[in-house]
Copies of this chain bind each other. A is one copy, B any other.
Amino acid sequence: MKSYHGGLGVGIAGIVQRRHDEPKPGKHEVLIRVRAASLNARELMILAGQYSLPVKPDVVLLADGAGEVITIGDEVTRARIGDRVACAVFPRWIGGRFGWEFAAQIGGSLDGMLTELAVVDEQAVVAIPEHLSWEEAATLPCAGVTAWNALSGLRAPVPGETVLVLGSGSVSLFALGFAKLFGARVIATTSSDEKAERLRRLGADDVINYRSIPEWHVRVRELTDGRGVDHVIDVGGGGTLARSLMSTAVEGQVAAVGWLANEASSIDIKAIAGSIATLRRIAVGSRAQFIAMNRAIAVSGMHPAIDSVFPFADAVSAFRYYEAGKSFGKVVIAMP
Protein backbone atom coordinates (compact mmCIF):
# COMPACT_ATOMS: atom_id res chain seq x y z
CA MET A 1 0.00 0.00 0.00
CA LYS A 2 1.05 3.60 -0.69
CA SER A 3 1.20 6.79 1.41
CA TYR A 4 2.30 10.35 0.85
CA HIS A 5 4.81 11.69 3.33
CA GLY A 6 6.07 15.14 4.15
CA GLY A 7 7.44 17.11 7.07
CA LEU A 8 7.92 20.52 8.59
CA GLY A 9 9.27 22.89 5.98
CA VAL A 10 9.86 20.41 3.16
CA GLY A 11 7.54 22.28 0.81
CA ILE A 12 5.19 20.75 -1.73
CA ALA A 13 8.23 19.73 -3.68
CA GLY A 14 9.32 17.62 -0.73
CA ILE A 15 6.23 15.41 -0.69
CA VAL A 16 7.15 11.80 -1.42
CA GLN A 17 5.11 8.71 -2.05
CA ARG A 18 6.23 5.49 -0.33
CA ARG A 19 5.19 1.87 -0.41
CA HIS A 20 4.55 -0.04 2.84
CA ASP A 21 3.41 -3.43 3.93
CA GLU A 22 -0.16 -3.65 5.04
CA PRO A 23 -0.24 -2.52 8.68
CA LYS A 24 -1.91 -4.47 11.51
CA PRO A 25 -4.06 -2.74 14.12
CA GLY A 26 -3.14 -3.09 17.82
CA LYS A 27 -5.73 -4.21 20.31
CA HIS A 28 -7.42 -0.78 20.55
CA GLU A 29 -6.79 0.21 16.92
CA VAL A 30 -8.67 -0.02 13.65
CA LEU A 31 -7.43 -0.36 10.10
CA ILE A 32 -9.18 1.94 7.65
CA ARG A 33 -9.23 1.70 3.87
CA VAL A 34 -9.11 5.41 3.14
CA ARG A 35 -11.45 6.44 0.33
CA ALA A 36 -10.90 10.19 0.28
CA ALA A 37 -8.84 12.84 1.99
CA SER A 38 -8.91 16.61 1.87
CA LEU A 39 -6.67 19.63 2.28
CA ASN A 40 -6.58 22.42 4.82
CA ALA A 41 -4.46 25.50 5.36
CA ARG A 42 -2.63 23.66 8.13
CA GLU A 43 -1.06 21.37 5.52
CA LEU A 44 0.44 24.32 3.69
CA MET A 45 1.64 25.72 7.02
CA ILE A 46 3.33 22.41 7.85
CA LEU A 47 5.03 22.22 4.48
CA ALA A 48 6.03 25.87 4.75
CA GLY A 49 7.55 25.25 8.19
CA GLN A 50 5.13 27.66 9.88
CA TYR A 51 3.10 25.27 11.98
CA SER A 52 3.16 25.72 15.74
CA LEU A 53 2.24 22.21 16.96
CA PRO A 54 4.70 19.29 16.81
CA VAL A 55 5.03 17.47 13.48
CA LYS A 56 6.73 14.11 13.30
CA PRO A 57 9.43 13.63 10.66
CA ASP A 58 8.23 12.01 7.45
CA VAL A 59 4.65 12.08 8.65
CA VAL A 60 1.84 10.72 6.48
CA LEU A 61 0.14 13.93 5.41
CA LEU A 62 -3.40 15.27 5.87
CA ALA A 63 -5.66 15.51 8.89
CA ASP A 64 -8.83 14.98 6.92
CA GLY A 65 -9.97 11.68 5.54
CA ALA A 66 -12.79 9.15 5.42
CA GLY A 67 -12.91 5.47 4.71
CA GLU A 68 -14.11 2.04 5.61
CA VAL A 69 -13.05 0.00 8.62
CA ILE A 70 -11.59 -3.25 7.31
CA THR A 71 -9.90 -4.78 10.37
CA ILE A 72 -10.21 -4.09 14.09
CA GLY A 73 -8.04 -4.90 17.10
CA ASP A 74 -9.08 -7.49 19.67
CA GLU A 75 -10.47 -5.08 22.22
CA VAL A 76 -12.04 -2.50 19.94
CA THR A 77 -15.60 -1.59 20.93
CA ARG A 78 -16.23 1.67 19.09
CA ALA A 79 -16.06 0.43 15.53
CA ARG A 80 -17.04 -2.61 13.53
CA ILE A 81 -15.78 -3.89 10.24
CA GLY A 82 -17.62 -2.15 7.43
CA ASP A 83 -18.23 1.08 9.34
CA ARG A 84 -17.95 4.25 7.31
CA VAL A 85 -15.80 6.56 9.38
CA ALA A 86 -13.72 9.68 9.56
CA CYS A 87 -11.03 10.48 12.12
CA ALA A 88 -11.06 13.22 14.73
CA VAL A 89 -8.07 15.51 14.21
CA PHE A 90 -7.29 15.30 17.95
CA PRO A 91 -8.11 11.66 18.75
CA ARG A 92 -7.61 12.13 22.49
CA TRP A 93 -9.77 15.22 22.83
CA ILE A 94 -12.95 13.30 23.57
CA GLY A 95 -15.10 16.07 25.00
CA GLY A 96 -15.09 19.08 27.27
CA ARG A 97 -12.33 21.64 27.10
CA PHE A 98 -9.10 21.39 25.17
CA GLY A 99 -5.79 20.76 26.93
CA TRP A 100 -2.25 20.12 25.86
CA GLU A 101 -2.50 16.45 26.80
CA PHE A 102 -4.96 16.12 23.91
CA ALA A 103 -2.71 17.80 21.35
CA ALA A 104 -1.57 14.70 19.45
CA GLN A 105 -3.01 15.20 15.99
CA ILE A 106 -3.62 13.25 12.83
CA GLY A 107 -1.39 14.38 10.01
CA GLY A 108 0.93 16.19 12.45
CA SER A 109 2.40 14.37 15.44
CA LEU A 110 0.46 11.27 14.28
CA ASP A 111 0.33 9.81 10.80
CA GLY A 112 -2.41 11.20 8.60
CA MET A 113 -4.93 10.18 5.98
CA LEU A 114 -3.19 10.58 2.62
CA THR A 115 -2.64 6.85 2.48
CA GLU A 116 -4.45 3.83 1.18
CA LEU A 117 -4.55 2.18 4.59
CA ALA A 118 -4.52 4.00 7.92
CA VAL A 119 -4.20 2.54 11.41
CA VAL A 120 -5.79 4.75 14.04
CA ASP A 121 -6.78 4.47 17.67
CA GLU A 122 -10.42 3.49 17.97
CA GLN A 123 -11.03 6.72 19.86
CA ALA A 124 -10.28 8.73 16.74
CA VAL A 125 -13.02 7.05 14.79
CA VAL A 126 -16.33 8.81 14.19
CA ALA A 127 -19.21 7.46 12.11
CA ILE A 128 -20.03 9.65 9.11
CA PRO A 129 -23.51 10.69 7.97
CA GLU A 130 -25.02 8.10 5.63
CA HIS A 131 -26.05 10.51 2.91
CA LEU A 132 -22.53 11.80 2.33
CA SER A 133 -20.17 10.48 -0.33
CA TRP A 134 -16.61 9.58 0.65
CA GLU A 135 -15.43 12.83 -0.85
CA GLU A 136 -17.91 14.84 1.15
CA ALA A 137 -17.19 13.01 4.39
CA ALA A 138 -13.48 13.61 3.94
CA THR A 139 -14.04 17.36 4.27
CA LEU A 140 -15.43 17.28 7.79
CA PRO A 141 -12.73 16.69 10.43
CA CYS A 142 -10.80 19.91 10.27
CA ALA A 143 -12.83 22.67 8.62
CA GLY A 144 -16.23 21.29 9.60
CA VAL A 145 -15.45 20.73 13.25
CA THR A 146 -13.63 24.06 13.50
CA ALA A 147 -16.68 25.88 12.15
CA TRP A 148 -18.99 23.96 14.48
CA ASN A 149 -16.88 24.79 17.52
CA ALA A 150 -16.44 28.40 16.45
CA LEU A 151 -20.20 28.83 16.21
CA SER A 152 -21.45 26.78 19.10
CA GLY A 153 -18.57 26.08 21.48
CA LEU A 154 -19.14 28.98 23.82
CA ARG A 155 -22.74 30.11 23.39
CA ALA A 156 -24.45 28.71 20.33
CA PRO A 157 -26.50 30.95 18.05
CA VAL A 158 -30.18 31.05 18.87
CA PRO A 159 -32.72 31.23 16.04
CA GLY A 160 -33.12 34.83 14.98
CA GLU A 161 -29.58 35.86 15.92
CA THR A 162 -27.25 37.07 13.20
CA VAL A 163 -23.95 35.44 12.24
CA LEU A 164 -21.29 37.19 10.21
CA VAL A 165 -18.89 35.00 8.20
CA LEU A 166 -15.85 36.51 6.53
CA GLY A 167 -14.79 35.39 3.10
CA SER A 168 -15.35 32.07 1.42
CA GLY A 169 -12.72 29.83 2.90
CA SER A 170 -13.91 26.37 3.90
CA VAL A 171 -14.39 27.18 7.58
CA SER A 172 -16.52 30.15 6.57
CA LEU A 173 -18.60 28.06 4.18
CA PHE A 174 -19.22 25.44 6.85
CA ALA A 175 -20.05 28.16 9.37
CA LEU A 176 -22.53 29.64 6.92
CA GLY A 177 -24.25 26.30 6.48
CA PHE A 178 -24.29 25.49 10.18
CA ALA A 179 -25.52 28.97 11.12
CA LYS A 180 -28.56 28.39 8.92
CA LEU A 181 -29.19 25.08 10.71
CA PHE A 182 -29.11 26.98 14.01
CA GLY A 183 -31.85 29.24 12.65
CA ALA A 184 -29.59 32.25 12.34
CA ARG A 185 -29.59 34.97 9.76
CA VAL A 186 -26.25 35.04 7.96
CA ILE A 187 -24.30 37.97 6.57
CA ALA A 188 -21.22 37.08 4.52
CA THR A 189 -18.40 39.18 3.14
CA THR A 190 -16.56 38.41 -0.07
CA SER A 191 -14.33 39.94 -2.71
CA SER A 192 -16.37 39.41 -5.87
CA ASP A 193 -19.92 39.50 -7.09
CA GLU A 194 -19.53 36.03 -8.48
CA LYS A 195 -18.62 34.60 -5.09
CA ALA A 196 -21.40 36.68 -3.56
CA GLU A 197 -23.86 34.84 -5.75
CA ARG A 198 -22.47 31.47 -4.68
CA LEU A 199 -22.65 32.49 -1.02
CA ARG A 200 -26.28 33.46 -1.50
CA ARG A 201 -27.00 30.07 -3.04
CA LEU A 202 -25.45 28.45 0.05
CA GLY A 203 -27.91 30.37 2.21
CA ALA A 204 -26.36 33.74 3.00
CA ASP A 205 -29.14 36.26 3.64
CA ASP A 206 -26.93 39.23 2.83
CA VAL A 207 -23.53 39.46 1.21
CA ILE A 208 -21.18 42.44 1.35
CA ASN A 209 -18.48 42.90 -1.26
CA TYR A 210 -15.61 44.21 0.80
CA ARG A 211 -13.83 45.51 -2.26
CA SER A 212 -16.67 47.83 -3.14
CA ILE A 213 -17.48 48.48 0.55
CA PRO A 214 -14.15 48.52 2.41
CA GLU A 215 -15.92 49.86 5.51
CA TRP A 216 -17.97 46.69 5.63
CA HIS A 217 -18.58 46.91 9.38
CA VAL A 218 -20.65 50.04 8.76
CA ARG A 219 -22.76 48.09 6.28
CA VAL A 220 -23.14 45.24 8.79
CA ARG A 221 -24.55 47.71 11.32
CA GLU A 222 -26.97 49.07 8.74
CA LEU A 223 -28.16 45.57 7.88
CA THR A 224 -28.84 44.92 11.58
CA ASP A 225 -30.64 48.20 12.31
CA GLY A 226 -27.61 49.43 14.19
CA ARG A 227 -27.61 46.49 16.59
CA GLY A 228 -24.66 44.56 15.20
CA VAL A 229 -24.26 40.82 14.83
CA ASP A 230 -24.28 38.23 17.58
CA HIS A 231 -21.47 36.07 16.20
CA VAL A 232 -18.53 36.66 13.92
CA ILE A 233 -16.41 33.89 12.48
CA ASP A 234 -13.21 35.82 11.96
CA VAL A 235 -10.68 34.00 9.81
CA GLY A 236 -8.73 37.10 8.92
CA GLY A 237 -6.67 38.02 11.97
CA GLY A 238 -5.09 41.43 12.00
CA GLY A 239 -6.69 42.34 8.70
CA THR A 240 -10.23 41.99 9.95
CA LEU A 241 -10.43 41.84 13.75
CA ALA A 242 -10.99 45.54 14.38
CA ARG A 243 -13.89 45.62 11.91
CA SER A 244 -15.25 42.36 13.28
CA LEU A 245 -15.38 43.86 16.76
CA MET A 246 -17.01 47.01 15.40
CA SER A 247 -19.62 44.75 13.76
CA THR A 248 -20.72 42.97 16.95
CA ALA A 249 -23.75 43.61 19.10
CA VAL A 250 -23.38 44.16 22.83
CA GLU A 251 -22.39 40.82 24.37
CA GLY A 252 -21.65 39.42 20.92
CA GLN A 253 -18.97 36.84 20.22
CA VAL A 254 -16.06 36.81 17.80
CA ALA A 255 -14.44 33.44 17.13
CA ALA A 256 -10.82 33.74 16.03
CA VAL A 257 -10.16 30.86 13.67
CA GLY A 258 -7.12 29.78 11.77
CA TRP A 259 -5.10 32.91 12.31
CA LEU A 260 -1.46 32.68 11.39
CA ALA A 261 0.63 32.49 14.52
CA ASN A 262 3.34 34.51 12.86
CA GLU A 263 1.26 37.21 11.28
CA ALA A 264 3.03 40.52 11.50
CA SER A 265 0.20 42.89 12.22
CA SER A 266 -1.40 44.59 15.14
CA ILE A 267 -4.76 45.81 16.30
CA ASP A 268 -5.61 49.12 17.90
CA ILE A 269 -6.53 48.55 21.52
CA LYS A 270 -9.48 50.90 21.05
CA ALA A 271 -11.15 48.29 18.86
CA ILE A 272 -11.29 45.95 21.84
CA ALA A 273 -11.98 48.62 24.45
CA GLY A 274 -14.80 50.09 22.41
CA SER A 275 -16.90 46.95 22.09
CA ILE A 276 -18.60 44.87 24.76
CA ALA A 277 -17.84 41.56 23.17
CA THR A 278 -16.07 38.29 23.75
CA LEU A 279 -13.19 37.22 21.53
CA ARG A 280 -12.45 33.51 21.58
CA ARG A 281 -9.49 31.76 20.03
CA ILE A 282 -10.18 28.14 19.17
CA ALA A 283 -8.38 25.02 17.99
CA VAL A 284 -10.56 22.72 15.84
CA GLY A 285 -12.86 20.87 18.28
CA SER A 286 -13.47 17.71 20.26
CA ARG A 287 -14.67 14.30 19.20
CA ALA A 288 -17.96 15.05 20.97
CA GLN A 289 -18.36 18.15 18.81
CA PHE A 290 -17.57 16.11 15.71
CA ILE A 291 -20.32 13.65 16.61
CA ALA A 292 -22.81 16.43 17.34
CA MET A 293 -21.95 18.10 14.04
CA ASN A 294 -22.46 14.86 12.15
CA ARG A 295 -25.87 14.47 13.72
CA ALA A 296 -26.79 17.96 12.52
CA ILE A 297 -25.54 17.18 9.02
CA ALA A 298 -27.40 13.86 9.00
CA VAL A 299 -30.72 15.27 10.19
CA SER A 300 -30.58 18.27 7.89
CA GLY A 301 -29.28 16.44 4.84
CA MET A 302 -26.69 19.19 4.33
CA HIS A 303 -23.84 18.65 1.84
CA PRO A 304 -20.38 20.20 2.24
CA ALA A 305 -19.18 22.42 -0.58
CA ILE A 306 -16.52 20.72 -2.73
CA ASP A 307 -14.42 22.64 -5.21
CA SER A 308 -12.61 19.81 -6.95
CA VAL A 309 -11.48 16.21 -6.63
CA PHE A 310 -8.01 14.96 -7.58
CA PRO A 311 -6.99 11.31 -7.98
CA PHE A 312 -4.68 9.78 -5.35
CA ALA A 313 -2.00 9.25 -7.97
CA ASP A 314 -1.99 12.98 -8.62
CA ALA A 315 -2.15 14.13 -5.01
CA VAL A 316 0.69 16.59 -5.38
CA SER A 317 -1.32 18.49 -7.97
CA ALA A 318 -4.06 18.91 -5.39
CA PHE A 319 -1.56 20.65 -3.10
CA ARG A 320 -0.44 22.95 -5.89
CA TYR A 321 -3.99 23.78 -6.89
CA TYR A 322 -5.01 24.43 -3.29
CA GLU A 323 -1.95 26.61 -2.70
CA ALA A 324 -2.99 28.84 -5.59
CA GLY A 325 -5.95 29.94 -3.44
CA LYS A 326 -8.63 29.92 -6.12
CA SER A 327 -10.83 27.21 -4.65
CA PHE A 328 -14.37 27.74 -3.39
CA GLY A 329 -15.12 24.73 -1.22
CA LYS A 330 -12.85 21.87 -0.32
CA VAL A 331 -10.10 20.36 -2.43
CA VAL A 332 -10.37 16.59 -2.16
CA ILE A 333 -8.15 13.66 -3.11
CA ALA A 334 -10.01 10.45 -3.90
CA MET A 335 -8.55 6.96 -3.67
CA PRO A 336 -9.03 4.52 -6.51
Contacts and interface: CB of A to CB of B under 8 A. Distances in A.
Given A276-B281, A278-B281, A281-B272, A96 B266 contact: no
A329 interface: no
B261 A241 contact: no
Interface stretch (A9-17, A131-139, A156-164, A195-203): A156-164
B300 A160 contact: yes
Max chain B C-beta neighbours (<10 A), residue from A27, A52, A238, A260: A238
A180 B108 CA distance: 39
B182 A159 contact: yes
A328 interface: no
Contact of A159 (B78, B279, B296): B296
Nearest to A297: B160
Interface in A256-312: 256, 259-270, 272-283, 286, 288, 292-300
A75 B49 CA distance: 26
Interface stretch (A32-40, A97-105, A209-217, A316-324): A97-105
A120 to B, nearest CB: 13
Nearest to A266: B266
A16 B299 CA distance: 51
Interface residues of A, number: 73
Interface string A209-235: 000000000000000000000000000
Contacts of A281: 272-273, 275-278
14 contacts: A77-B101, A92-B94, A95-B96, A95-B97, A96-B286, A97-B288, A98-B251, A100-B250, A159-B181, A159-B182, A160-B181, A261-B270, A276-B283, A277-B281
Given A159-B299, A160-B292, A183-B296, 20 more contacts: A77-B104, A95-B286, A97-B250, A98-B251, A100-B250, A159-B178, A159-B295, A160-B294, A160-B295, A241-B269, A259-B269, A262-B270, A265-B269, A267-B267, A273-B281, A275-B281, A277-B280, A278-B279, A278-B281, A279-B279
